[in-house]
Chains A and B, each alone.
Chain A
Amino acid sequence: MSNSNHDDIQNEVVPATQSETQVNLPKSELPVHVLRRADVDPIAAARAERQVAIMFLLSAVFTVLAVVSFFAIPVDLYIRVPGPGVTSASNFALGITLGLAIFLIGTGAIHWARKLMPDDEVVQSRHGYSSSREIRESVMQEIRIGGEESGFTSRKIVRRSLLTAIAVLPLPAVILALDFGPLPQNELRETLWKKGVRLVTDPTGRYLRPEDFSVGSLVSAHPENLKEWEEENHNLNARAKTSILVVRMTPEQLRTSQGEGWDYQGIIAYSKICTHVGCPIALYEHRTHHLLCPCHQSTFDLADSGNVVFGPAARRLPQLPLGVDEEGYLVALSDFQEPVGPSFWERG
């Protein structure tokens, strides 16, 4: 073991005699301890010392620069850094200078430790993790005495009533769950759409006519009665269920619909809410007629009944039957014929 003058006392494994769970470690097989340049060469040591000092002093310089840039750089000055782009000069300078100030203290300390502090290998012995047999036995004895003296073991009625009290205590937590609200009843199956309700644009609220649509047009729309409902109810629940996308394709492009006569001259409307977990979808590619959900890449084919062509969605998008009223505006012919949005417990 006498590979160098450093390890004559360090590389011994000390037997951990004080523990009964002691493991006899193998004799250490530490590699030969190689001295660093700074250990043997005073010039190298002086150089390392100088390098450490330079890092610490540079850190101080950057701290001063941070203070200077705080005062010198106006906050509304923006600079273009090649690559990342335009950013606030003040924030950029503060970040770089303060970051370097902290970083250089760290590198200086590491350099100091690596080059100059002692690097002797040391084996430190450990005793076992468990307490000694005597301590463990005395603790168990205490517990037994406590049980007997308190009467927990002999007074059955006290013990059982206490256990009963503890057992029923979680019950209110279950009961409080009823406050989550009444069961949804039909709320998830019905929306504000019904026969004769006109389509209005989102967010501008204009009525839509069939002649507004070119082949390839895409419009986000709502029912005209949504605004009134939201003024009464002050929440977005109805909007989440009624949002639709209206697109137009040629009759040849439109292969199937979910119902006979649900399109109006190639104008079709589908729920905007993904059937996977309910993200609003409007990434419509008008040449493939695919609608892509940005959340999990479910893809629906609007030319083919809104069927899923890719992704985790399990159900097709519900279609809204469209027609026009006597004034020539686009209207719904009925509500959706299947629940919109993600699947839910009672949907079946």
Chain B
Amino acid sequence: MAKRSGTVGFSKYRKHPAALSVILFLGLIVTSGVYTLGANAANEYARSSVDAAAIMNDPASIDAGKRLFATGCATCHGLNAQGNSDGPTLIGVGAASVHFQVSSGRMPMASPGAQVMRKKPQYTEEQTLQLAAYVASLSPGPEIPTAAQLNWAGADLAEGAELFRANCAQCHSFSGRGGALTEGKYAPSLMIATPQQIYEAMITGPQAMPIFNDQTLNLEEKHGIIAYIEYLKDSPNPGGFELGRYGPVTEGLFLWTIGMGALLMVAIWIGVKAK
């Protein structure tokens, strides 16, 4: 009975002049809410407390990794990681590359395209390390950074910022929010990358990214860059919404679409004859 009266209550307002606006507004709220929840879930990446060195050094990990590889990766990279028409060889890419790609959810890839996108990781940290141990056993390559290599405490933040602007900002933008490259490729935002993933990306050069090995950017310099990115992640926006921190471009776009759109709506409202 209550339900029925509720329906009647709604139908009373169905032809109200504001009904369409209200429905549109509610629809937008629901859609954006669901999207935000989904995006946050996909971005969640907690570094589990597994002992990376122990797993990497355990000979059993190679066998476990090989089994995971055969089911999850071999379709594109070949049964022996030699590569085929769908994917490149993984011989010599190193454990760091595997850990970067799998822990950021880029591998296994959802669909081929200009850019492999970050998503929710498909493997646990332990499975990721087993895969890395297997690929590293095929041929040496860049290794997963040790805890000491990732200890950037005491890094020179100012020098890190300078190095970031000289080496990273051209693609990832000076605020680390990423930017467009050619033919649909893009440099992703660094705001959700973990320090370990940033380190691994520098030494392996995933996708279009060049390689910054320990000779061209030494350990202290890498620490400075990581410290600067962590600083960017934590720096608040005292002036208002960041809008990607791209500066006047997005701010102008916002004003020209949302701002001018709102003004147009008001102008139409002023102009329509009142009833």
Among residues of B, the one whose C-beta sits closest to the C-beta of A299 is B182
With contact pairs A37-B275, A91-B240 given, residues A204 and B210 touching in the complex (Cβ less than 8 Å) = no
Which B residues lie within 8 Å of A34 (CB)?
273
The answer to the question of B269 belonging to the interface, with a C-beta cut-off of 8 Å to chain A, is yes
The answer to the question of A213 belonging to the interface, with a C-beta cut-off of 8 Å to chain B, is yes
The answer to the question of A170 belonging to the interface, with a C-beta cut-off of 8 Å to chain B, is no
Q: By DSSP majority rule, is chain A's interface helix, strand, loop, or mixed?
A: mixed
Complex: how many Å from CA A83 to CA B266?
A: 24
Chain B CB within 10 Å — which of A106, A115, A220 has the most?
Answer: A220
Partner of A219, one of B209, B216, B275: B216
Partner of B207, one of A75, A212, A287: A287
Partner of A204, one of B36, B185, B221, B266: B221
Which B residues lie within 8 Å of A78 (CB)?
236-237
- CB-contacts of B222-272 with A (<8 A): 236-243, 266, 269-270
Which B residues lie within 8 Å of A209 (CB)?
215
Partner of B236, one of A83, A86, A282, A284: A86
State the interface size on chain B (CB cutoff 8 A): 40
Min CB distance A100 to B, Å, is 13
Surface stretch bound by B, among A59-67, A131-139, A288-296? A288-296
Among residues of B, the one whose C-beta sits closest to the C-beta of A311 is B182
With contact pairs A78-B236, A88-B239, A91-B239 given, residues A284 and B210 touching in the complex (Cβ less than 8 Å) = yes
Which B residues lie within 8 Å of A312 (CB)?
none
The answer to the question of B171 belonging to the interface, with a C-beta cut-off of 8 Å to chain A, is yes
Q: Mark B164-198, 1 if CB is under 8 A from A, else 0.
A: 00110011000000010110010100000000000
The answer to the question of B8 belonging to the interface, with a C-beta cut-off of 8 Å to chain A, is no
When the two chains form their complex, are residues A217 and B182 in contact, meaning their CB atoms are under 8 A apart? no
Partner of B216, one of A119, A201, A215, A285: A201
Min CB distance A306 to B, Å, is 16
Which B residues lie within 8 Å of A160 (CB)?
none
Which A residues lie within 8 Å of B59 (CB)?
none
Which A residues lie within 8 Å of B137 (CB)?
none
The answer to the question of A253 belonging to the interface, with a C-beta cut-off of 8 Å to chain B, is no
Partner of A288, one of B182, B205, B221, B269: B182
With contact pairs A37-B275, A115-B274 given, residues A283 and B181 touching in the complex (Cβ less than 8 Å) = yes
Partner of A216, one of B181, B210, B237: B210
- CB-contacts of B147-164 with A (<8 A): 159, 162-163
Complex: how many Å from CA A212 to CA B33?
A: 49
The answer to the question of A26 belonging to the interface, with a C-beta cut-off of 8 Å to chain B, is no
When the two chains form their complex, are residues B274 and A218 in contact, meaning their CB atoms are under 8 A apart? no
When the two chains form their complex, are residues B212 and A218 in contact, meaning their CB atoms are under 8 A apart? yes
The answer to the question of A338 belonging to the interface, with a C-beta cut-off of 8 Å to chain B, is no
When the two chains form their complex, are residues A286 and B185 in contact, meaning their CB atoms are under 8 A apart? no
Complex: how many Å from CA A282 to CA B221?
A: 19
The answer to the question of A15 belonging to the interface, with a C-beta cut-off of 8 Å to chain B, is no
Among residues of B, the one whose C-beta sits closest to the C-beta of A88 is B238
Chain A CB within 10 Å — which of B159, B179, B238 has the most?
Answer: B238
When the two chains form their complex, are residues A285 and B182 in contact, meaning their CB atoms are under 8 A apart? yes
- Given contact pairs A87-B241, A283-B181, A290-B182, enumerate 9 new A-B contacts (beta carbons under 8 Å): A34-B273, A87-B237, A87-B240, A95-B240, A203-B162, A216-B210, A217-B212, A282-B171, A310-B182
Report 12 cross-chain contacts, Cβ distance below 8 Å, ordered by A residue.
A75-B238, A78-B236, A85-B241, A85-B242, A88-B239, A119-B274, A204-B159, A212-B215, A212-B216, A217-B213, A218-B212, A285-B182
In order of increasing CB-CB distance, the 4 nearest A-B pairs are A218-B210, A212-B215, A285-B208, A114-B274
